Structures are given as structure tokens and as C-alpha cells.
Amino acid sequence: MDGLRAISCLTVFLANLHHSMGRPTSGRAGPLDLATFAESGIGVVIFMVLSGALLSMPFWRSLERGVSGSELRRFMLRRFVRIAPPYYLCLLALILGAGLWRDSADVAAHVLFVNNLWDRSFYSVSPQFWTIGMFVQFYLVLPLLFAVAHRISRRAGPTLLLFTAAAAGFYAIHAILMATRHHWLTWPISAVADVNGFALSHSTLAHLPHFVFGVLAGYALLRLAARVTEDRSSIDRMSDLLFWTASAALIAICSVPAATRLEVPYGRYLFPWMPALAAIVVITAPFGPTARKTLEARPLRWLGLISYGVYIYHVPCMQVVQKLTQHFNQPLSTLQFAGASLALTFAVAAVSRVIIERPLLRWSGSTQF
């Protein structure tokens, strides 16, 4: 899973190099287009599915006995400790460095993780920060979904149906809201969300189906783990086949411009195909021998450990490199700029991991994304 995190954060870096820094990537290999891949959002989708899978596993395990209030409190504490300290540190540096403290409402929106609900603050500080608010909101929804499931049934079957229906329902509501937004999006809602803005089209509701795909993947991971000792050889072979097939299909649909035709109306990130393929990758990665060996390569595992820091700090680090090159009048090629930005990002993320994240994670007992 650390290897998957590593690959995901590198694709997010590529996306912001392409979009936010004005350094478009280009190149083709047959029908595969690098610019299309950079614009696809594949890294964010894998993070959503992976987060849903890992964080739901304790809830699946405790479904039969219910989820107590103390367990929910521990869950929320661990999520806050995992997400907030590096984010707040980076946010503080950006606010002070750019003088953004003058806009107290925007600062408050970011501190409270609701910046993605307001068009004015959506991209105001750093382009990746809207996803941080979205993930925090996912973490609020996850226990609620399992609490509803617990009231309906303590068996896995009905719960799986409930989550499948929830994913379909979240998408349907988002699609209806998007299709009818010109009619209902008036004041006072228009004060925070524009008809053609990102707060609606990129809303948490629009991405909840992707997260729920991860929650379903979490159940599949537990079931496979329970069966692996009984039929190891066939599970290994099938997992490897599915992992590499799904990975190839995922790269293909993210790299072929015509693949956007597969997306359902108002779906985000080639929904439902991209999150479904990402879920297969997440489910099979721990069980396929060659998949596991590839993802457990030492550089990927190390990068996976600092992946959250890379995710948080990479855009500010790009901006620092850009300002330094302008100050010293030393223009860099896109490849040189990417290399310098990555080196600085890795260094900052590694220091953050050692000084901030690891001590707090040990204190909270949490190691998951």
C-alpha cells in the first residue's frame, strides 16, 4: 500500500506541474497521451479508493459488535492527527508568506476544512488543498454510513448492498443537482457557489461514490486475507493477473483522450470506470507476488511513507524553485524544474515525517492514510 501511495503522489505532482505551474507535459506512445494522463486525476482517485479501503477495514471488523462512541472518538482523533499538523504548518507558511492573512474568512475556511465548499476559497491558497477538505469530510461520513448499516443489519451482505446503493445515490443526487443548477442555485447559495464554479462540480458529494468504491474494496481485502491461507496459489495467480490487467486498463483510459466518452454525465474522474479499476488494483496488490514485489521496492516504500508530506508540500516547493530561478535569472527546462522541485519536496516531506508526523502517529496509534 505504501508503494501505491508513492505512485499516486507522483502522479499528483505531475498533474500540478502540468496545470498549476504552467509547464505542460507532452508526449505520445501510440494512442497514449502524456498530457491526457497528467490531466486525468488518477492519483487523487487512487488516494480516495485506498483511503476508503484502509479506513473502512476496522469498521467492517467491528460491524458484528457495533461501533462504540469511544471507538469513533479514537477514529476521529487519529484522522485529525494524521491530516491536520502538516497541513496547518504548510497553510501557515503560505498564509504568512503570501500575506493571505488579510482575508480572515478565507483563512477560517481552510482552518476548518471547508474551503472546498466555497468557490472563493477553493483554489485560493494552494491548488491541492481543496482535496484535504474533501478527505476530512469523507472521514465524517464514513462512521455515519456504518452507523446506519449497523441499525439495518449486522451482516455483511445487506451492508454491501447498502453501500452500493449509497454510491449510486450519491452520484444520482450530484448529477441531478448539476443538471438543474441553473434553476435552484440562487441567493443565498450563490454567495458561496457559482453555477459554473468548482464548489458544486468538484463537491464532496461528487466524489463520495469513489470513496465508497474504496470502502467496498476494504471488505474484499478482508475476505481475501481470510481465504489466502486456504488457497494461496490460485489467489496469488488470480491476483497478479487482475492487478496487472487493471493497472494497464487504468493507465490506458487515463491516457487516451477518447476515453472521456466512457464517463457518465457529470461523473468525476471517468466515473465509474476509473474508481472501479483503482479498487481492483488496491484489492489485488497485497496478494499478487509480482505486484507485491514491485510495490515493495525500497524506494517506493520510502516514498510511500512520506507521501502525505509530498502531497501537502509539493506545490509550495515548486513555487520556491520557480522564485529562485527567477531571482537568479537561471531558467530551467521542464525536466530540470521537475527534478529540482521533487528533490526539495522529498527533503521537506522527509523532515516533516521525522519531526512532526511520526511522533504524532505513534502517540495516536495510527499509521494509515
Residue by residue, DSSP assigns 293-353 as HHHT-HHHHHHHHTHHHHHHHHHHHHHHHHHHHHHTT----HHHHHHHHHHHHHHHHHHHI
Q: Does residue 62 form part of some domain?
A: yes
Taking alpha carbons only, the member of 26, 49, 52, 48 closest to residue 37 is 26
| Alpha-carbon separation of residue 190 from 118, 180, 184, 247 (angstroms) | 10, 14, 9, 41
Find the domain containing 15 and state its range: 2-363
pLDDT at 369: 46
Q: Does residue 369 form part of some domain?
A: no
Those residues with Cβ within 8 angstroms of residue 145's Cβ, 6 or more apart along the chain or in another chain: 162, 163, 166, 212, 215
**Dist. CA 211–CA 271, nearest whole Å:** 12
**Dist. CA 6–CA 281, nearest whole Å:** 14
Amino acid at position 307, single letter: S
pLDDT, tens digit (0-9, with 9 covering 90-100), for 244-299: 999 999 999 999 999 989 999 999 999 999 999 999 999 999 999 999 999 999 99
Does residue 55 contact residue 139 with C-beta atoms inside 8 Å? yes
Does residue 137 contact residue 130 with C-beta atoms inside 8 Å? no
Structural domains of the chain, count: 1
pLDDT in tens, the chain (369 residues): 999 999 999 999 999 999 888 888 888 888 899 999 999 999 999 999 999 999 999 999 888 666 555 577 888 888 999 999 999 999 999 988 877 777 899 999 999 999 999 999 999 999 999 999 999 999 999 999 998 988 888 788 899 999 999 999 999 999 999 999 999 999 999 999 999 999 999 999 999 999 999 999 999 999 999 888 777 888 899 999 999 999 999 999 999 999 989 999 999 999 999 999 999 999 999 999 999 999 999 999 999 999 999 999 999 999 999 999 998 998 899 999 999 999 999 999 999 999 999 898 888 765 444
Those residues with Cβ within 8 angstroms of residue 43's Cβ, 6 or more apart along the chain or in another chain: 7, 8, 9, 10, 11, 12, 14, 15
pLDDT at 67: 54
Q: Does residue 368 form part of some domain?
A: no
**Dist. CA 78–CA 340, nearest whole Å:** 33
Q: Does residue 319 form part of some domain?
A: yes
pLDDT at 19: 83
Distance in Å from the first CA to the final CA of the chain? 10
Q: Does residue 141 form part of some domain?
A: yes
Does residue 255 contact residue 34 with C-beta atoms inside 8 Å? yes
pLDDT, tens digit (0-9, with 9 covering 90-100), for 59-105: 998 886 665 555 778 888 889 999 999 999 999 999 888 777 778 99
CB atoms under 10 Å from CB of 216, counted, come to 24
Give the burial string for 295-320 (b: 16+ CB within 10 Å, else e).
Answer: beeeebeebbbbbbbbbbbbbbbbbb
**Dist. CA 201–CA 177, nearest whole Å:** 9
Give me the residue label for grid cell 488470480: 238
CB atoms under 10 Å from CB of 227, counted, come to 13
**Dist. CA 28–CA 256, nearest whole Å:** 10
Q: Does residue 282 form part of some domain?
A: yes
Does residue 209 contact residue 167 with C-beta atoms inside 8 Å? yes
Q: Does residue 322 form part of some domain?
A: yes
Could you tell me how far CA 355 lies from the centroid of its own chain? Answer: 24
